[in-house]
Amino acid sequence: MERERATVWGVVGLVVMTTLVSGPLVGAVDLTTEPEMSFGDGSVAVEDVALPDRATLSAGRFGAGEYTLRVPDASVEISAVQGRPLLVYRLSIQERGYTRSTVHFVSQKNAGTYSLSLSDDSFDRAAVANDSYQGRLEVIARTNERSRVITARQITVEVVE
């Protein structure tokens, strides 16, 4: 009986001692884990960016009633990465009220030459009226809740029949 009572009081004492030492009153020991960085936290150093100077809206084949928008990849030279920053590759065609972007999650293993891509998109044939459109390509870094345009360029989006 004495042994059981000693065990119970020992456990109670250990719990109380741990609570006091790690609690807000004393705070001598921090038993919590470090918060993991979330996506968009950190920094990225980009040395060089190569953006294409044109994109194409190609008519569908075999009577397909749509055009396919194709944007060549951008190439960035990443020299350093800390944390989990984001790179955004974005095309805007103001005349059409169109914007498309992709978000790339980069890490230290992406240091060096890295390709940013935009997936193809489709437009209804009736929506394409011009021979070309003016667009704007941007590469944007999102770090620590801030967005910074690394580079931007006006491009021609050519309509190809």
For the chain, domain boundaries: 1-32, 42-160
Average pLDDT score over the chain: 87
Largest Cα separation within the chain, whole Å, is: 94
pTM of the model: 0.73
Domain 42-160 has CATH 2.40.50.140: no
No. of helices (H) and no. of strands (E), the chain: 1, 10
Mean pLDDT value of segment 86-95: 95
Q: Which tokens is 39 given? A: 């996506």
pLDDT above 90: residue 160? no
For 18-32, write each residue's pLDDT tens digit: 777 777 666 666 666
Among 112, 108, 99, 109, which Cα is nearest to 140's? 99
Closest to 46 (Cα-Cα) out of 101, 144, 113, 117 = 113
